[in-house]
Chains A and B, each alone.
Chain A
Amino acid sequence: MNQTAALCALRFALRESRSAFQNFKIFMVSLFLGTAIIAGVGSVTANISDSIRKDGRIFLGGDLEISQNQQRLAQDERTYLNQWGMLSEVAILRSMAHVENDSSLVDLKAVDGAYPLYGDLDLQAGQYIPEMLLKQGQNWGVIISSALAARLNLRRGDSLSLGTARYQVRGIIAKEPDANNQGFQLAPGAIIALDSLFENSLIQPGSLIRYYNRLKLNQGINSENLKLNIKKNFPEKSWRIRDSSSGGAGLRRFVGRMGQFMALVGLAALLVGGVGVSNAVRAYLDDKTNSIATYKILGGTGQLILMTYLGQILFIATGAILLGLITGGLLPIAAGEIMKESLPIEFGWALYPKALLLAAFYSYSVAVIFTLWPLGKAVQLPAARLFRKTVSKRGAIGQSLPYIAVIAGLLILLIMVVIYMSEFRMLTAVTLASAAGAFLILLGASTWAKAMARRIPRPKNPIFRIALSNIYRPGNATNAIVLSLGLGLILFTSIALIEHNLLREIKDRVSGEAPSFFFLDIQKDQHDAFTDYLASREGVQRYRTVPNLRGRVTHVKAIAARHAPVKSEGKWILRGDKGITFTPILPADNIITAGQWWPENYDGPPQVSISKQMADSMDIAIDDTITVNILSRNFTLPVSSIRSFNWESFGINYVMMLDPKTLKSAPFTYVATAKALAGDEREIYRELSQKFPGISVIRMAEILDNAVALLGKLSASIDVMAAITIISGIAVLAGAIAAGHKTRIYDAAVLKVVGATRYDILKAYIIEFILLGLLTGAIAMILGSLGAYCVIKFVMDMSWQLPLDIPAGTVSASVLVTLAFGMVSIWLAMSARPADILRRHTS
C-alpha cells in the first residue's frame, strides 16, 4: 500500500469515527473488562510477590533461620551464631488448651524476649511487650488468636491450662508478622514465653517440637556467605537453614498460582468478549455496506477499505484497552487496602509493564482476530449491490484465504504466548484447548439448532412460526447469544458440580471411613492407661496406636538428598522431617509389592520398609540404602520391602517404617486413631482432654469443618471469577440482542400494519427468547456436566454424582437472563409507531 493510500485510509478512518463510538459500546465494554482483569490480576500478583519478597525477613522472622526438630542449640552453637547478630529462639509445637468445660487443639508458639526481630506483633487492644508473657503470680501470660478466643469463649484476663501450667490471657492477636512462615495451621494459634515450656510437661522426649533460631544480622554480614560458613563449621548438623528470600515463599507460590488461574479466567472473559467484538463489528459494517460500495465506486481499492475500517476499529479498541490497562494498573492500590489487614507487609504501588504489555497484547490480538472475519466479508461485498441488492455474487473462497491465514496465524501466536508465559503450561494448554473445544461445540450446536428449526414442519400458529423463523432468519442473533452466554454457563456448571462432588466425597469419606480422632504426643508412660480407656469406653468402635518419631532423609543410595534424582511426585518426601515408625506387624491396609516383611520377633541389623511412591519416584530397589537422620543420629538402612497403601483411607500411614528392634529404645511418643459413635464423640473428647491433658486430640469433625470452610473460601473466589466470565457474556448477550433491535422494530411495525396485536408480537418474541435460552442452557448443562465428570473421574479419581438442582439452575438462569435482556428490546419494539418506522425504512 503506498503512502497516499495509507494517508487516505487514516483520514477516512478518523472521519468515520466521528459518530462511530455509539455503535461500539459493547465492543468497548468487552475489551475493557477482559483487559482490566488480565492487567489487574498480573499487576496485583506481581505487586504482592514483590512486597513479600521485599519484606521476606518479616515473613521469615529474621535475616537467617536455623531450625531443627526436638533439640535446642547447644551453647557453643549459640555463641557461634551470636557473633553475627541478634539471635531469637522460637519453638513451635501442638498442644491442648483446657478451660473449665472445654478443650481445644492449639498451634503453640513459644517465643523469647527478642521476638519479633522484624515486623510487629499487633494486638486487638494495647501494645505487645515481651513482659506480657512472663509469669505473674501463678500464671504465665498467653496471647491467643481470635479463633481460639472464639473457640473457647475467652477474653483478656481469663485463664486456661496448657500442659501442666496455667496461663492468663494477656492479649488477642490482630496481626502476627511471621504467621505465614509456619505453613498450613491445623488449629488456632497462641503465643507463650519460651521459658514457660520448661516449667511445663509439654516437652517430653519424643515430643513433636521444632526449634527456630532466627538471626538479625549485624551490618555488613552477607546471609549467603554466612550460610556457607555455618555449613562449613557444622557439617554434621541436619539443620534447615533459610534466608529471607525463602520468607513467604509458600505464600508467594500460592499467590502466583491463584494469579495464573485468575489470568486464565480473565482470558476466557476476553475470548467471550471477542464474540461481542465480532457482533459489534458485524452490526457496524452492516450499516456501512452502502458506504463501502460507494468507496469502491469512487475508486477505493479493497486494501484501502480494509485499512480504513480496521484502522477505525483499532482506534476505538485502543481507547477501551487503554482504559482497561489504567484500571488494571491501579488495581494493586485497592488490593493493597483490602489485604493489608491480613498480610503483615507494606504494600507499595508500582507499575508492572510486563503485566500491562501482556494484557495489551492479548486484547489487541482478540480484537483483531474477531474483527478480521466480518471485516473481510464486508470488504468483499460487490459494489454492484448498490444497483442490484437482490442478486449479488458472494466472494469466492480464494478471496477469504488471506483473512483465514492471518486469523489463524494470530491465533497460534496468541496461544503460544499464553502457554509460554504460564507456570503450568500443560494445564494452560488443556484449558485453552477445552475453551476452544467448548466454543466450537457451542457454535456447532447453535448451527445444528438453526438447521433443525428450519426443518421442523411449519407450525400452524403464525406466532409460533414467527418465533421459530426468527431463530434461523438472515441476520439472526442465535450464534451470538449461544456463544456469549454459553461459555460462562459451562464454566459455572462445571465448577458447581466439581464443588458438589468434592464436598460430598469429603463428607462421605470422613463419616464413613475416617477415624473420629487423631491423638498426638502420647507419652510412653501414658500408653497403657490410654489404650485401657479406649478399650473400655462405650462408644469407641476401634482404635490403633503407633510409635512415632521424626526423621529426615539425608542420602538416597549414598547420594546426598539435595542432589539425588527424584521425580516430582516424590520431592515432598525429601523436604524437611517426616514421620517414622517401627512395627513388627505389617499394617492391615499395607500390601507388600517387593521384598519381604520382617518376622514379628526380628532381631537383626537395622532395615527399612518404604512406600511404593518413594521407591518409584527415587528409583529405589530392594537392598538399596537410604540414610535417615533421627534425633541427630544417622541411620543408613537397606530397603527390605516396598509397600503400597491408600493415603485416602485416613489411617496412620508411613512412608518409612523401621524394623521393630532398631528404635525400640529411642525416645518416642505414640500417635493413635479412634473411631467413635457420632453421639459419643463430644463426651469422649471431653473425658480424654481431662484425663490426659498433655495429649493433643484432633477431632476430625473440626478438621472437616475447617476444610469445608477453606474450600468454601477458595470456591468463592473461583465462583467470582466464573461470574466475571458470565458478566462478560451478559454484556455480549446484550449487544447481540441490541444488534437485532432494528430488525425487530421493523418487523413489529409491519406486523402491526397487517393486524397483529401488541400481545401477539410480545408472545412471538418471548417464545423466541425462551427457545434461545433453553438451547443455550441445555448445551451449557451438557458440556458443563461432561467437563466436571472428566475432572472428578479422571483427574481426582472420585465417585461421580449429578444432582438435578445444578443443571436445572443452569437452564433456568439461561432462560431468565436471555428473556430479561430480550424484554428490553421487545418493549422498545412494541413502543415504536409503525408509520414512523416504515417511513424511515423506505427513505
Chain B
Amino acid sequence: MTNKAILQLKDIFLKFSGESHEIEVLNGINLDIDRGSSVAILGPSGSGKSSLLSIVTGLEKQTSGSVTVAGHILDHMNEDQLALFRRDNMGIILQSFHLIPTMTALENVAVPLELAGQKDAMATAEAALDHVGLRHRLAHYPAQLSGGEQQRVAIARAVAPNPKIIFADEPTGNLDGKTGHKIIELIFNLQKKFNTTLIMITHDTQVAQHCDRILYIQDGLIVDRQSQKGPSDEEDTSDQKSTTKKVAE
C-alpha cells in the first residue's frame, strides 16, 4: 500500500452457499485507491458492485482477503468496532436515501454526530444542510420532502462528520434526470470542498466521467481500469493473480 492510498483491497473473495451450489460474488479483487481521489465503479447488474461496496464499508465480511481503510485493517474487527469505524471515517450515501422517517431533516443529519458524542451536533448538522441548500427544511420529516431533497439530506448526513471517505451507491438511481444531475454536481462539489475521497457506484458513464478513475467490474472481477487524470494504472495490477479481460466497448 502506498502512502497515498486510503483504501487497499487484497485478494478479496466473496462466496455464499446457495441451495444447490456455491455462489461466487467476488473472485479476487485487488485495488488501491488514493487519498482525495474520486473513483467510479461501473458494471452490469449482478456484477458485484454493491457487494464490493458493502465489504469496503465493513457492512459485510469477505470470504477471504484483506481490507485496509485509512491504515486500519477491517478484517478482524467485530460488528460494533466496524460500526464505530464507519462513524468516525466514512460517509455513506444510498440509492434509496434511507433517512429515519421519524426524525426531521436536522435530526437525521445529526445522528452520526450525536453518535460520536459531538456537543454541537445540531449546529454542525444545520451547517451541513446549509451546504446542500436545505436551510429552509430543517424541521421537515422525510415524508414531507421530495426525492431530491431527501437525497440532499442523505448527502448532508454523509458529509457532516467530515469523513475520510464518502461512498455513494447509485445516488441518483431513484431520481429524475434533472434532479440527479444536480445531486451529482453537489456530491462532487462537496468532495472537493472537504477534500475527501469519493467512491461511487453508478450505471451512468457520463457521471463516471467526472471521476478521477473508472473501474469496470464484471462477474466479480475488475476487468478494466481507466484513469482520467494520468497514465493507466495497469502497473498496480502487475502482481495480481486475477485474470483481466478487456470489456468490449
Residues of A within 8 A of B (CB): 4-5, 8, 11-12, 15-20, 290-291, 293-304, 382-384, 386-388, 391
Q: Does B87 contact A (CB under 8 A)?
A: yes
B54 and A387 within 8 A (CB): yes
Task: Select which of A11, A297, A387 is within 8 A of B50 by beta carbon.
Answer: A387
A389: min CB distance to chain B, Å: 11
Q: Does B98 contact A (CB under 8 A)?
A: yes
Q: Which of B52-90 contact A (CB under 8 A)?
A: 53-54, 57, 59-60, 79-80, 83-84, 86-88
Query: Which residues of the other chain, B, contact A387 by a CB distance below 8 angstroms?
Result: 50-51, 53-54, 59-60, 169
Task: Select which of A4, A291, A302 is within 8 A of B80 by beta carbon.
Answer: A302
B54: min CB distance to chain A, Å: 5
Task: Select which of B60, B80, B117 is within 8 A of A384 by beta carbon.
Answer: B60
Residues of B within 8 A of A (CB): 16, 23, 50-51, 53-54, 57, 59-60, 79-80, 83-84, 86-88, 92, 94, 96, 98-103, 107, 111-112, 114-117, 157, 169
B100 and A294 within 8 A (CB): yes
B84 and A299 within 8 A (CB): yes
B102 and A19 within 8 A (CB): yes
Top-3 shortest CB links A-B: A299-B87, A4-B117, A301-B80
B102 and A16 within 8 A (CB): yes
A386 and B94 within 8 A (CB): yes
- Nearest CB in chain B to that of A298: its residue: B112
Most buried by B among A4, A290, A383: A383
Query: Which residues of the other chain, A, contact B23 by a CB distance below 8 angstroms?
Result: 391
The 21 sampled A-B contact pairs (Cβ below 8 Å) are A15-B102, A16-B102, A20-B102, A291-B100, A294-B98, A295-B111, A298-B87, A298-B92, A299-B83, A299-B88, A299-B112, A300-B87, A300-B115, A301-B79, A301-B83, A303-B80, A384-B60, A386-B96, A387-B51, A387-B54, A387-B169
Query: Which residues of the other chain, A, contact B80 by a CB distance below 8 angstroms?
Result: 301-303
On whether A297 and B53 interact (CB within 8 A), knowing A8-B115, A16-B102, A302-B80, the answer reads no
Most buried by B among A16, A298, A302: A298
A85: min CB distance to chain B, Å: 72
A298 and B79 within 8 A (CB): no
Task: Select which of A300, A384, A388, A391 is within 8 A of B83 by beta carbon.
Answer: A300
Most buried by A among B23, B79, B169: B79
- Nearest CB in chain A to that of B119: its residue: A4
Query: Which residues of the other chain, B, contact A4 by a CB distance below 8 angstroms?
Result: 117
- Nearest CB in chain B to that of A395: its residue: B79
Query: Which residues of the other chain, B, contact A15 by a CB distance below 8 angstroms?
Result: 100, 102-103, 107
- Nearest CB in chain A to that of B201: its residue: A387
CA distance A17 to B169 in the complex (A): 30
- Nearest CB in chain B to that of A292: its residue: B100
CA distance A291 to B117 in the complex (A): 20
Q: Known pairs A295-B100, A299-B115; list 13 more (Cβ under 8 Å).
A: A11-B114, A15-B102, A298-B111, A298-B115, A299-B84, A299-B87, A299-B116, A300-B115, A303-B80, A384-B54, A386-B59, A386-B96, A391-B16
B15: min CB distance to chain A, Å: 11
B51 and A8 within 8 A (CB): no
Task: Select which of A293, A298, A391 is within 8 A of B157 by beta carbon.
Answer: A298
Query: Which residues of the other chain, B, contact A384 by a CB distance below 8 angstroms?
Result: 54, 59-60
B82: min CB distance to chain A, Å: 9
A8 and B60 within 8 A (CB): no
On whether A297 and B102 interact (CB within 8 A), knowing A382-B59, A387-B53, A387-B54, the answer reads no
